[in-house]
Structure 1
Amino acid sequence: MAHPHGEAKFWLQPSLTLANHTGLSKHEPADAERVVARHLQEIIDAWHEHFGG
């Protein structure tokens, strides 16, 4: 997930986990994780549709 001042990388499986982040404030990675969690299945489905599997 990108932000004008930084980014966060998440592993989606086997469970949603923050892999790393750069340039984000202390609370922004947790905020990003909540957004990803709300859309997790949609993200996974789009990944499979685009890349197969």
Structure 2
Amino acid sequence: MPVVFRHKGFRFLFYSNEGDPREPMHVHALKDGLDAKFWLWPEVSVAYNDGYSARTLRELIELITHRRQLIASEWNAFFGESN
């Protein structure tokens, strides 16, 4: 479960087993037992949400959008490929 970065108590990560075949590039945001998954391309969007408010999701989308290149770089370094 590689953690890409942390921000205000959130952990942004992906799981080492991301499906077979592997799901498209994405990141999970976890905090206080809640989880949401965000697709990175073609634009950052919510794949699923398990408890965050609409306001929090908007804030997370903005943050992930700003750090999308970092997340993509970490994904590619971990999985050894571009997706």
* TM superposition score normalised by structure 1: 0.84
Larger strand share, 1 or 2: 2
Number of residue pairs aligned between Structure 1 and Structure 2: 53
Take 1:13 and 1:37, find their aligned partners in 2: how far apart are those partners? 10
C-alpha displacement of 1:26: 2.6
1:40 aligns with 2:68: yes
C-alpha displacement of 1:14: 2.9
Where 2:53 maps in the other structure, the secondary structure is coil
C-alpha displacement of 1:41: 0.2
Larger helix share, 1 or 2: 1
**Residue matched to 1:49:** 77
Q: How does 1:1-53 map to 2 (within 5 A)?
A: 1-53=29-81
Where 2:37 maps in the other structure, the secondary structure is strand
Deviation beyond 6 Å, 4+ runs, structure 1: none
Where 2:62 maps in the other structure, the secondary structure is helix
Take 1:7 and 1:30, find their aligned partners in 2: how far apart are those partners? 14
* Structure 1 unaligned residues grouped into runs of 5+: none
CA deviations over 1:4-34 (Å, ceiling 9, x no partner)? 1512111112322111111112311111111
* TM superposition score normalised by structure 2: 0.57
Question: What is the percent sequence identity of the aligned residues?
Answer: 26
Note the aligned Cα RMSD (angstroms): 1.3
